[in-house]
């Protein structure tokens, strides 16, 4: 595409800007106010149009903008970095195969995330069938150690949370991971999962309530033991 240089500016304009972890709860409102939606939508459409024309540079731009978030999401759904990378690759192949069906009714990013999530669940089902890795024992050891971001974070809490997230319903898990971990807005999650924003908020609330119960249970048991 001859206009790629104009259509896809090289500055990163990530529509799903990772949220600064400040005040936790009113984040949705903060994000809505701070984000600049119109130019981001143009980029989204420009990338989609370039992908439709078969321009591999557009796929590279999509990867550059959202590859890290896609890898992280896949890692949390599949448990290992190698599976996550395979899922991201498969997602890009599926995007290329079905790009002709993208009509712009949702944003290109949410459409891509939907494909990613479906790909991850396909991989989980395939893995369960092959019984290569037990579902409740993901290969956490093979994952590179992320740089610690919160000094108070405790490795055991993180591990407990990972296991608790696995116990959520699929939709609760997806909403929780997309909102709390990957920083998507409810409006974007609604687009990915094809649900309403209200449903996304309710699902997140229920997911967090369930997680709290799961994570508090050992404490209660310990207290009873004492």
Partner 1 sequence: MKITCSERERIFLDGTPDEWAALEAHAGHCLACREELAAWRNLSEAASELHQEWEAPALWPRIERALREQSRAARASWWERLLGRPNLPSLAWQTAAAALVLVLFSAAAIWVILHRNPVVPSTALLTDRAVGIVEERQAAYEEAIDKLDAQARPQLDQAATPLMASYREKLQVLDSAIADLKSQAGMNPANGHLRRQLLAMYQEKQLTLEEVLEAKRQ
Which residue ranges make up the site for partner 1 (CB under 8 A)?
18, 21, 23-26, 29-30, 54, 56, 59-60, 63, 67-68, 71-72, 75-76, 81, 85, 88-89, 92-93, 96-97, 143-144, 146-150, 152-153, 157-158, 161-162, 165, 176-177, 180-183, 201-202, 205, 208, 211-212, 215-216
Annotate 145-179 with DSSP letters as a single string: PPPP--TT--HHHHHHHHHHHHHS-HHHHHHHIII
Contact in structure between 199 and 218 (CB atoms under 8 Å): no
Nearer to partner 1, 41 or 102 (CB): 102
Please report, for residues 125, 139, 160, 172, the alpha-carbon distance to residue 180 in angstroms, rounded to integers and kept in the order given. Answer: 25, 22, 16, 11
Please report, for residues 12, 22, 77, 185, the alpha-carbon distance to residue 170 in angstroms, rounded to integers and kept in the order given. Answer: 31, 28, 10, 18
Q: Which of 171, 161, 158, 167 is nearest to 203 (CA)?
A: 171
Nearer to partner 1, 42 or 93 (CB): 93
Q: In angstroms, what is the minimal distance from the CB of 69 to partner 1? A: 8
Q: In angstroms, what is the minimal distance from the CB of 6 to partner 1? A: 23
Nearer to partner 1, 18 or 37 (CB): 18
Nearer to partner 1, 41 or 195 (CB): 195
């Amino acid at each position: 595409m001859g206009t790629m240089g104009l259509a896809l500016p090289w500055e990163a304009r990530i529509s799903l800007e990772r949220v600064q972890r400040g005040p936790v709860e009113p984040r949705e409102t903060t994000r809505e106010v701070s984000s600049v939606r119109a130019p981001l939508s143009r980029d989204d459409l420009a990338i989609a149009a370039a992908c439709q024309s078969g321009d591999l540079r557009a796929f590279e731009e999509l990867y550059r903008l959202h590859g890290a978030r896609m890898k992280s999401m896949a890692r949390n759904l599949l448990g290992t970095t190698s599976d996550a990378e395979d899922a991201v690759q498969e997602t890009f192949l599926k995007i290329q195969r079905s790009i002709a069906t993208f009509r712009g009714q949702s944003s290109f990013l949410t459409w891509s995330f939907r494909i990613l999530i479906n790909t991850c669940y396909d991989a989980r089902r395939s893995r369960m069938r092959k019984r290569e890795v037990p579902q409740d024992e993901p290969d956490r050891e093979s994952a590179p150690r992320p740089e610690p971001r919160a000094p108070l974070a405790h490795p055991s809490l993180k591990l407990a949370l990972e296991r608790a997230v696995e116990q959520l319903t699929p939709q609760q898990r997806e909403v929780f991971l997309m909102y709390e971990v990957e920083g998507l807005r409810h409006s974007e999650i609604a687009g990915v999962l094809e649900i309403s924003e209200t449903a996304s908020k309710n699902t997140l609330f229920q997911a967090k309530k369930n997680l709290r119960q799961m994570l508090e249970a050992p404490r209660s048991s310990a207290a009873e033991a004492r």
